Amino acid sequence: MSSEQVAGVLVSGQDLAALAEAVRIASAVRTRYGLNVPPEWAKLRALATGNGHEDAPPIEADEDLLSTAEIARLLHCSPRQARRMVPLLDGRLVGGRWLAPRAAVLEHLKGMSA
């Protein structure tokens, strides 16, 4: 019998869903506080969400998206603060840029003034 090491862990079912959710939450917290998400986390999340696909809903072609600069202008905050807020506004990373739906930003603005 050979003494070879086994690399890897088999995770399935509810455990896999829990792992994907834990990585999603940890990544969101790091992003919220302006910290980088380790690339290993993104890879793990992609592997855990089935066929390597993101679990974010697809962007509608007619959806009006705002950049962080536009969000900062509308919310009267710094671009850095807008980058921190965009994941909380249903924002998505598209082509290396954070974008958020105009409706979510306006709803947040309405909540700020209430």
Arch. (CATH architecture) of 56-114: Orthogonal Bundle (1.10)
Please determine, for residue 3, whether its predicted confidence score (pLDDT) is greater than 80: no
pTM above 0.85, yes or no: no
Residue 72: which residues within 8 A CB-CB, separation 6 or more? 78, 79, 81, 82
Average pLDDT rounded to a whole number, residues 16-24: 84
Question: How confident is residue 75, by pLDDT bands cut at 50, 70 and 90?
Answer: very high
